[in-house]
Amino acid sequence: MISAPVVADPVLMPDSEAGVRLLLDALPMGVVVLLPDGQERFRNTVAMSIAGARHADVLIEVAAERLLNVALRGFESREQIQLAGPPQRVLEVRAIPLADGGAIAIIDDVTDRWRIDQVRTDFVANVSHELKTPVGAISVLAETIEGESDDELVLRLTGRMVIEAQRMSRTIDELLELSRIELGGEMLLVDIDMADVAAEAIERVAPMAMRSGVPLNIDSKKGTSIVSGDFFQLVSAVKNLVENAVKYSDQTHQVDVRVLTTDTTVSVEVEDRGIGIPADSIDRIFERFYRVDRARNRATGGTGLGLSIVRHVATNHGGEVNVRSREGEGSTFILQIPRVLGPQ
């Protein structure tokens, strides 16, 4: 049987103050209503929770008061307030004049929207900056080739152009992957065995490891390391860690990948015996485009985006990524994700 659609009927709208309060209390945002003489007429539950003594509450309260006064004079206005946190939050206060001469203020948590805007702005700035270098190089190389008749030199220059173009293409691919993961919108959460994730990641890096002569070793047991996650994202994270371990190791230095479980977590540890990371860079390596050694990086073709991807995947899964490293001795990256109790 098909039931009739629920139609908003003005007759059924609450006509009592208590009914309206009930509705306003159900809203996820703060609402404050003033009478035309500036007296507070009503404050819903969320707005009441804001009227505390904490520094953040005072900031919001002061902004709401200021904007409500403007609204009492007949003007609508809005203001964003950034609270340093942690956790960092952004609230928007908006005040609107009411037909009876009073005013209403709406206090809304817009942190998610603000974060997405921020990611977009940074993304554009980073892309333009990082693509300028290879585009500039290609342009100079093309101009040189234009007036060149020496075949051997032309061949060498076109070879350089191909390398720069490939570099640009890798940066674009990783930026797109990072922005997809950062926005976290398309996550497909299912029970996943991290042993499968590690095996898939290793399979993808194996050809590169073989070319570099770095042996890859995996230690995992299927069936015990179940997490709730997005397979594409988790493989991308572990692949980036294994790829780095190979990239920053010398030939014959083995890379070990271990999948470990505790009662509550599953960890993938990627250990190399490579160049290690200087102590003063450790805190920065997860930043977008940060590279310890740009010169070496030109040779390895690194984009500086891999570890940002890993960190975002960890955050999207309620986990974290940590690193232990000693310069000249090697590094161990640990990706830790909350465990789902699967079949033992």
The footprint of ligand ADP (CB under 6 A) covers 240, 244-245, 248, 272, 274-277, 285, 290-293, 297, 302-308, 331
Residue carrying structure tokens 């399979």: 203
Assign 3-state DSSP to the chain and report helix, strand, coil percentages, each to 5: 50, 20, 30
Q: Which is nearer to ligand ADP, 94 or 273 (CB)?
A: 273
List beta partners, residue 97: 103
- Give min distance, CB of 19 to ligand ADP, in A: 56
Which tokens in the block code for residue 125? 């700035």
Closest to ligand ADP by CB, 232 or 290? 290
Closest distance to ligand ADP from the beta carbon of 226 (Å)? 27
Q: How far is the CB of 28 from ligand ADP (least distance, A)?
A: 37
d(Cα 3, Cα 62) in Å, to the nearest integer? 48
Query: To the nearest whole angstrom, how small is the minimum distance from the Cβ of residue 120 to ligand ADP?
Result: 21
CB of 317 to ligand ADP, least distance (A): 18
3-state secondary structure of 168: helix
CB of 95 within 8 A of CB of 70?
yes
DSSP codes of every residue in 203-240: HHHHHHHHHHT--EEEE--TTS-EEEE-HHHHHHHHHH
Maximum C-alpha span of the chain: 90
CB of 194 or CB of 275, closer to ligand ADP: 275
In the complex, the smallest distance separating the C-beta of residue 220 from ligand ADP, rounded to whole angstroms, is: 19
Among residues 93 and 305, whose Cβ is nearest to ligand ADP? Answer: 305
Q: Which is nearer to ligand ADP, 73 or 211 (CB)?
A: 211
Closest CA relative to residue 158, chosen from 150, 297, 300: 150
Closest distance of CB 164 from ligand ADP, Å: 16
121/211 Cα distance (integer angstroms): 38
Going through the chain in order, the beta strands assigned E by DSSP cover 30-34, 40-43, 77-83, 89-97, 103-109, 190-193, 216-219, 226-229, 255-261, 265-271, 320-326, 330-338
Nearer CB in complex with ligand ADP: 220/244: 244
C-beta of 240 vs 336, nearer to ligand ADP: 240
Question: Which residue has tokens 């490891």?
Answer: 209
d(CA 32, CA 77): 15
CA-CA distance, 312 to 332, in Å (whole number)?
18
Shortest Cβ distance from residue 235 to ligand ADP (Å)?
A: 15
Nearer to ligand ADP, 126 or 303 (CB): 303
The upper half-sphere exposure of residue 267, i.e. CA atoms within 13 Å in the direction of its Cβ, equals 17
Minimum distance from CB of 288 to ligand ADP (Å)?
Answer: 8
Q: Which C-beta is closer to ligand ADP: that of 291 or that of 312?
A: 291
Amino acid at 239: K
Distance CA 69, CA 90 (A): 22
